[in-house]
Chains A and B, each alone.
Chain A
Amino acid sequence: MSCHETGGCDVDADETVALVGCPNVGKSVVFGGLAEQYVDVSNYPGTTVDTTEAAFGDAKLTDTPGVYGISSFDEEERVTREIVLEADVVVNVVDATQLDRDLFLTLQLLDMGIPTVVALNMMDEAEADGVDIDADALEAELGVPVVPTVAVDGEGIDELRGRVDEARAPESTPIERWFDELPDDVEATRAEKTLLVEGDEPTAERVSTGKVVADGGVPALTDVGQREDVYGHRRRRVEEVAGGVLSREERDSSWAERFSDLMLNPLTGTPIALAMLGAIFYFIGVVVAQKVVDFLEITVFGEYYNPVVEGAIESLLPAASWAEPIEFLLINGNLGLLTITVQYIVGVLLPLVIAFYFVIGLLEDSGMLPRLAVLTDRGLNRIGLNGRAIVPMIVGVGCVTMAVITTRMVGDRRERLISTALLGLAVPCSAQLGVIMGLLAGLGLIWWFGYVGVLLVVLGVAGLFLDRTLPGDSTPLVTELPRMRVPRPRNILRKTYNRTKMFLREAIPLFGATAVAISALDYFGGFAVIQRALAPITSLIGLPQEFARVLLLGLVRRDFAAAGMTDMALGTAEMFVGLVVITLFVPCILSMVMILKERDAKSALLMWVGSWIVAFGVGGLLAVIL
């Protein structure tokens, strides 16, 4: 989430405080506690990709993407490195259950001489694990303030706030022995020197360019990097420090670990996953899609809202001929701007989107999502399909996040390419998936599983095809699984609220514009032409000509198309085919813009045309089978 969405931009302050730590340690929760501003929090690494700023007393507080160290190996690291180099104070959030992993970053910050306060977070989980950490001993050992916290409960946050002033770094650290090997005349801060001896290229370039101006020669600073020595030495110090402050008492494995093992084993995990799909079906499909949406559509909109608005517009507008197109635009029975459009957004999309975000939030915060992804990957691999593509879909919570998680969870470039292609082909953004699934579930449990099955097979086959045709070898799915947790209701509600708000902000103008465009087409008869032109392919999939309207909506967004299907009189099988077709249909208009920007017109066009072919190919096949 960028600061534009949270409205926290342009905080003017002299002092800057940065929150830095490994992925998924709770930085964003601490940020929320210190700045009293909500940012996206989820139980998997890579939630924060952009920085968020907020006022913190007289200073400016920045939330950063999680990193394992200060260097420049990927985009998150570069973002965080810049912020650390400019920050006056760093609040280093450390996961108490992962001390030997996280202290590497802490010691690196101290080597760099950056004034630091350590927030020793997740103390509750450390305790549950039987790990006892002597915070005072750690404070003495590191030489900087250490504050134990349980960020989700707000514990220790006040003390942390109070001790930010005490941030400091030890006068000297063992890193200095390597400084001697730098050229004598190098003009760099201690932080830069640390990065230099670690062979950080951007720092070497920056410092060298400074030298060019000074004496005309470029010293070979990149050669002095002895990263492995420095890192190895620091790792030994980490182990010493951690060993000195930590005592562990043997515990039986917790329910969370046992459940996690069950989830990851295909034999036990598959039934659990199916049971969960069933439960989601019941909630989204039966409770929300049937009860809530039906009530809103039939009673609220059908009996009250639409007739009232229609009556009002008819009596307000004069019976003159110039008013006729306006009246048509506002209240026509297909997609009137004030009637059906509002009904689709409020009556259909909104309840389903809220329900879906809620479910996704639960899966995210409990740690289920990445496990489902790993399970599906393993299962599909076993039957010879490529499961990689499924991961972003299962973990995806909206296009932007989805892309990030893809890069996080999916090994190398090649796999990333495959995922991006499949994302464009067949994976709806979360809100869209929610709407489609909601409507599908109305058909019955068996169709719901059928839909998931068809999608998995299409993705698996397409993934296999790409895997075979693209050069290079496939790499196994390696992920760092977050631990299982009981989700916090407050976080889920806030997340659902925030995401729904963002959904509406994007969907309302887009849907409004689409409704106007389609109504105009309708009014001037262009619509009939399109319907006739599309007739061969709509009949190919065994659907009536009116399905062309749904396709037009689908050009903009899949969920609009799904909403448009709610009041078509279709048989069960026809409905199923229609929903599969619009899922596989072209990527939404915003994704297309993104693809155009990130890649080139050719691959965008290829993707666009390709999805027509796949959608109608699969749809035609299903129409024959069913």
Chain B
Amino acid sequence: MICPSCSFEFDPSRGLQCPRCGEAIDCSEIGCANCDACNDVFQQVTRRIRSKS
């Protein structure tokens, strides 16, 4: 996916932190339509819940 703050393209499966600028990406901010970090709906939901807390 493309980092919203520095536009660096990285592989989100290793975590949602941009390795270049360090920005921790928040699911609720960018929305699943623009992110391919999750493999299925179940993962989307769990990740969203986790990012809320």
Contacts and interface: CB of A to CB of B under 8 A. Distances in A.
Interface string B13-33: 010010111110000001101
Contacts of A231: 10, 19-20
Contact of A228 (B6, B11, B23): B11
A231 to B, nearest CB: 4
B34 interface: yes
A74 B23 contact: no
A228 B21 contact: no
Contact of A69 (B20, B31, B34): B20
Given A476-B30, A476-B34, A478-B30, A104 B9 contact: no
Q: By DSSP majority rule, is chain B's interface helix, strand, loop, or mixed?
A: loop
A473 interface: yes
Nearest to B17: A235
A74 B7 contact: yes
B8 A69 contact: yes
A232 B22 contact: no
B31 A68 contact: no
Given A475-B34, A478-B30, A104 B8 contact: no
Contacts of B19: 228, 231-232, 234-235
Contacts of A104: 20-22
A238 B9 contact: no
B5 A480 contact: yes
Nearest to A239: B22
Interface string A35-76: 000000000000000000000000000000000110001100
A522 interface: no
B8 A73 contact: yes
Contacts of A68: 5-6, 8, 20-21
Nearest to B9: A73
Interface in A202-258: 228, 231-232, 234-235, 238-239
A539 to B, nearest CB: 49
Contacts of B8: 68-69, 73
Nearest to A100: B22
Interface in A467-487: 473, 475-476, 478, 480
Interface string A69-96: 1000110000000000000000000000
A414 interface: no
A475 B14 CA distance: 23
Nearest to A480: B5
Interface residues of A, number: 20
A101 interface: yes
B10 A228 contact: yes
A238 B4 CA distance: 20
A235 B22 CA distance: 7
Interface string A578-611: 0000000000000000000000000000000000
Contact of A238 (B22, B23, B31, B33): B22
B5 A473 contact: no
A611 to B, nearest CB: 32
A110 to B, nearest CB: 16
Contacts of B30: 476, 478
**Which interface residue of B8, B31, B33 has the most chain A CB atoms within 10 A?**
B8
Contacts of A22: 21
Contacts of A480: 4-5
Contacts of B5: 68, 478, 480
A8 B23 CA distance: 36
A134 B34 CA distance: 39
Contacts of A228: 10-11, 14, 19
A239 B18 CA distance: 13
B26 to A, nearest CB: 11
A73 B11 CA distance: 15
A68 B4 CA distance: 12
B34 to A, nearest CB: 6
B20 A473 contact: no
B31 A476 contact: yes
Interface in A414-473: 473
A232 B4 contact: no
Nearest to B34: A475
Contacts of A239: 22
Given A69-B6, A73-B9, A478-B4, 13 more contacts: A22-B21, A73-B7, A74-B7, A101-B22, A104-B20, A104-B21, A228-B11, A232-B14, A232-B19, A235-B19, A473-B33, A476-B30, A480-B4
Interface of A: 22, 68-69, 73-74, 100-101, 104, 228, 231-232, 234-235, 238-239, 473, 475-476, 478, 480
23 contacts: A22-B21, A68-B6, A68-B20, A68-B21, A69-B6, A73-B9, A101-B23, A104-B20, A104-B22, A228-B14, A231-B10, A231-B19, A232-B14, A235-B19, A235-B20, A238-B22, A239-B22, A473-B33, A476-B34, A478-B4, A478-B5, A478-B30, A480-B4
Q: Which 3 A-B pairs have the closest CB atoms?
A: A68-B6, A231-B19, A478-B4
